[in-house]
């Protein structure tokens, strides 16, 4: 077992946890085509899609809020948010560049 450079193991783990919330939101985005197909099928069977839409919107909101709330273990700033922009594609802290 060798320590990897000067990298703090707890920071690394903390960043991995932060990045997990990003993965959840990305997976949610990837299911969008499935969702559209589901809505389309339901509509063509003249079914109610209101509930499904709200569930999906709620799921997005929960994941997005979770991601926005994540803080960088190094600088304590919001990991993905700089001013009002949510950076979905970064794997580094948008403030100090900390990565997992």
Contact set with Zn ion (CB under 5 A):
72, 74-75, 93, 95-96, 98
**What is the separation of C-alpha 81 from the centre of its chain, rounded to a whole number of angstroms?**
12
Q: State in angstroms the smallest separation of the CB of 66 from Zn ion.
A: 18
Q: Are 81 and 87 in contact (CB under 8 A)?
A: yes
Q: State in angstroms the smallest separation of the CB of 88 from Zn ion.
A: 17
Q: Hey, is 58 helix, strand or coil?
A: helix
Q: State in angstroms the smallest separation of the CB of 91 from Zn ion.
A: 12
Q: Hey, is 17 helix, strand or coil?
A: helix
**Closer CB to Zn ion, residue 25 or residue 93?**
93
**Closer CB to Zn ion, residue 60 or residue 74?**
74
Q: Hey, is 47 helix, strand or coil?
A: coil
């Amino acid at each position: 077992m060798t320590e990897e450079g000067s990298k703090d193991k707890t920071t690394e783990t903390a960043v991995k946890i932060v990045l997990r919330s990003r993965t959840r939101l990305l997976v949610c985005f990837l299911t969008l085509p499935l969702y559209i197909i589901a809505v389309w099928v339901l509509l063509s069977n003249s079914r109610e899609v209101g509930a499904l839409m709200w569930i999906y919107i709620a799921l997005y909101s929960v994941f997005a809020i979770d991601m926005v709330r994540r803080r960088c273990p190094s600088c304590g700033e919001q990991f993905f948010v700089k001013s009002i922009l949510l950076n979905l594609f970064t794997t580094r802290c948008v403030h100090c560049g900390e990565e997992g």
